[in-house]
Amino acid sequence: MKKTILALTLLASGMAVSLPALSDESNPAIVHRQGIYQIAGGHMTAIKSILFLGFDAPQDVTFHAQSILDAFAHMGNSYPPGSDQGETKAKPEIWQNFDKVKELAKNTREAAGKLVEVSKSGDKEASMVAFKQLGGTCKACHDDFRKK
């Protein structure tokens, strides 16, 4: 936590920050995928604030949903052999049942795409339903493949 606060302070002040200041993890695949999940999680939180907590920025739902979709488009090969070595919340089962992981990832991308399209209509109720469906696809993968 202290390293994160230090890194954010340095970033805010315009000073360069090295990767070790942001994370103790040195496995580049783990750092890559954790960064993408953090991005997606931040956008999910932002959407939640708009749809469920009353933050008045309905026009931003599409931006955040598209950002989630874009982030997941860059997952690439973020689970290569050896990326189970290090500080990761990924369960070993990921590498043993990667076809299921791919299926769940496809479901998540489709749900994010649906949220993008639905949010463009401005229909808050429909966006709430699509957001919950997206969250459900995330949870499906977490239930089977993410350590608590």
List, for residues 63-104, the tens digit of each pLDDT value: 999 999 999 998 888 899 889 999 999 999 999 999 999 999
Is the Cβ–Cβ distance between 49 and 55 less than 8 Å? Answer: yes
Sequence ranges of the domains in the chain: 27-145
CATH of domain 27-145: 1.20.120.10
CA distance 20 to 98: 30
pLDDT at residue 11 greater than cutoff 60 = no
What average pLDDT does this structure show over 24-50?
94
Q: Tell me, what's the pLDDT at 42?
A: 97
Against a cut of 0.75, is the pTM above it?
yes
pLDDT, tens only, 115-139: 999 999 999 999 999 999 999 999 9
* pLDDT at residue number 76: 80
pLDDT at 9 over 90: no
The residue type at 86: G
In terms of Cβ atoms closer than 10 Å to its own Cβ (0-12, 13-18, 19+), residue 58 is middle
Whether the pLDDT of residue 20 is over 50: the answer is no
Q: What is the dihedral of CA 6, 1, 45, 41, to 10 degrees?
A: 100
Q: Binning pLDDT at 50, 70 and 90, where does residue 53 land?
A: very high
Q: Does the pLDDT value for residue 22 go beyond 80?
A: no
Contacts of 60 (CB under 8 A, 6+ apart): 46, 50
Name the residue with higher pLDDT: 14 or 113: 113
